[in-house]
Chain A
Amino acid sequence: MRKTIAEKILGSHCGKEVRAGDIVVADVDFVLAQDGTAPLAVRAFREMGGREVFDKDKVTFIIDHNAPSPNQRVSSLHKTMREFSREMGFSLYDVGEGICHQVVMEGGHALPGGLVVGADSHTCTYGALNCFSTGVGSTDLAAALIAGKLWFKVPETMKFILKGNLPAGVYSKDVALYLIGERGAEGANYKAIEFTGELINGLSLESRFTITNMVVEMGAKVGMMNIDEKAREWMREHSSPDISLHPVEADAGAVYEDILEYDLSSLEPQVARPHRVDKVSSVGEVAGQKIDQAFLGTCTNGRLEDLRIAADILKGKEVHPEVRLIVAPASRKVFLKAMKEGIITVLIESGAAVINPGCGACVGTHAGVPADGEVVISTANRNFKGRMGNANASIYLASPATVAASAIEGKITDPRKYIQKTEDRGQGTENKRIDSK
């Protein structure tokens, strides 16, 4: 039988041939939870009679959603996580280490051909590393902590073939928003996605993460990509140098529920309008909308490349006096690299408030809650009503470039006017490090 990536990885983790629609119990390679979900998982773990985790080297907790703690109640939940991880002997990434998905990938915990579950819906990000990774709730997570296994329905797969090279000023975030706008919030519900095509091959890994991060916004269980030399290079540099890679590719003739082709060579910058991720239009249609706050960060677009693109636009310029620009690097490692490269200096000189790595502003816990009636443009993955902590605020989603350009002008702005014609860096179609070899 010819198989999809999902069928192969779930099959190899349950020790039998499987096909889409089967329900299987599979071994997981890594399990993670963050401070919004881990405390409930600890409670469920106790209720289930758990005494130890299945493998202390295959489990981690991350404190990122509410970090550092804004109040006593949260502090107490964080304490529960720290005590549990110490008791069980597994690692915990504490305040300031970064957003769970960034630290899991940087830590070499998500590997090609692997199976990872995380109590966070954006766990699907690691598909760009060819790892079948998906979000679960706290009770499922507790079961996985105890058993090292979980039940899965083998998903049907939709194949997206992305063609063309992105024009200057257009990035993988624009691709993600465009595809979600095309397919809708439920367009891939319960499905795995496989992304292929020259557009994907041309993207840096950081840009690919933005796309796989957002597949859950069309309901997908995971968004898979193949491993190429760029991916190997990224893993050699960012995760453990001695990792063994077992990438999995789909067979020619595998059965797909749908095969969709898009040529995105003339794509324009995209913006998702309030309060839906799939309410997407070209930046031109919303340009001029006044903004009060701009946010650059998150597991979608808080990586070095994203900060660099924003800094290139903001260099020597000032954030509009009526706009707060908040920047949260995705991890400590990203933060340090951005400092060494001078990116943080540029951002702060432009007027940005740079905060510690974490999720706070995106999930509405703290560090950037908008006022009633205010408008935010953000590089995040969700703009649901109330998402940033105020149901009477409006959130637009866009690329780091669009967010940076909008921060300068105080209104939603097409970033292409700020992009130099001879663009030689950024998310476009090249990765300098690889190409220079």
Chain B
Amino acid sequence: MKLTGKAYKFGDDVNTDLIISGRYKFSTLDMKDLAKHVMEDVDPDFSRKVEPGQSFIVAGRNFGCGSSREQAPLAIKEAGVVAVIAPSFARIFYRNAVNVGLVVLEGDTGNIEEGDRLEVDLEEHLIRDEAKKTEIRIKPLPEIMVGILSEGGLAAYFKKHGGFEIS
């Protein structure tokens, strides 16, 4: 499976309050509403700039640190971001992203620039930066997470399998 789109760059330690602020997330389950405010305190125009299905968040280290709010990956997904790419993710965010069916990719994002066109090859574990003509290796997910992601998230996975399947 291949994903393509444009890179939107963010720095290190983007926390869950920056992804979706507590002033919005505690009062609604309407993800379309939350998606309008995604990344707002870092880039107020982000939700308007994103081209749904054609955009990547490309971040620095420890993306998603902070709270356990699943609204963070859900709001990113609802905004139309196809994947988040970062050298490392905070633990709870990483798990939540996979559970809600948001693709998260661990790789070296240092040379990717804002606006670069990227192609992600999930089978080959590679990101191709078309502007830089470079390839970046991505770390494969654990098998159980591949299983969850391939069902579109944990809810569908759990319903299908009736539990967790590990070898």
Please report A residues at the B interface, Cβ cutoff 8 Å.
23-25, 35-37, 39-40, 43-44, 47-49, 65-66, 71, 73-74, 77, 119-121, 123, 135-140, 142-143, 146-147, 149-151, 153, 185-186, 189-190, 219, 221, 276, 363-365, 369, 382, 384-387, 389-391
Contacts and interface: CB of A to CB of B under 8 A. Distances in A.
A219 B62 contact: yes
Contact of B70 (A40, A146, A190, A363): A40
A25 B96 CA distance: 17
Interface in B150-167: 153-156, 158-159, 163-164, 166
Kindly name the residue among B142, B153, B156, B163 whose own CB sees the greatest number of chain A CB atoms within 10 A.
Answer: B163
Contacts of A146: 158
A144 to B, nearest CB: 10
A387 B25 CA distance: 12
Given A189-B91, A221-B91, A389-B23, A39 B29 contact: yes
A185 B142 contact: no
A37 B153 CA distance: 17
Interface of B: 13, 15, 17-18, 21-23, 25-29, 41, 61-62, 65-71, 74, 88, 90-92, 95-96, 99-100, 142-144, 153-156, 158-159, 163-164, 166
Nearest to A385: B41
Top 5 nearest A-B pairs by Cβ distance? A137-B96, A137-B70, A364-B22, A186-B62, A139-B99
B159 A119 contact: no
A136 B27 contact: no
B92 A47 contact: no
B18 A365 contact: no
25 contacts: A23-B142, A24-B166, A25-B166, A37-B70, A40-B70, A40-B71, A73-B28, A120-B67, A137-B68, A137-B95, A137-B99, A139-B154, A142-B155, A186-B65, A186-B90, A189-B88, A219-B90, A221-B91, A276-B13, A363-B26, A364-B17, A365-B22, A385-B18, A386-B17, A389-B23
A77 to B, nearest CB: 7
A135 B68 contact: yes
B159 to A, nearest CB: 5
A74 B26 contact: yes
A384 B95 contact: no
Contacts of A391: 21, 41
A121 B92 contact: yes
A23 B61 CA distance: 24
A40 B68 CA distance: 12
Contact of A136 (B65, B71, B88, B92): B92
A219 B91 CA distance: 7
B17 A382 contact: yes
A23 to B, nearest CB: 6
Contacts of B65: 185-186, 219
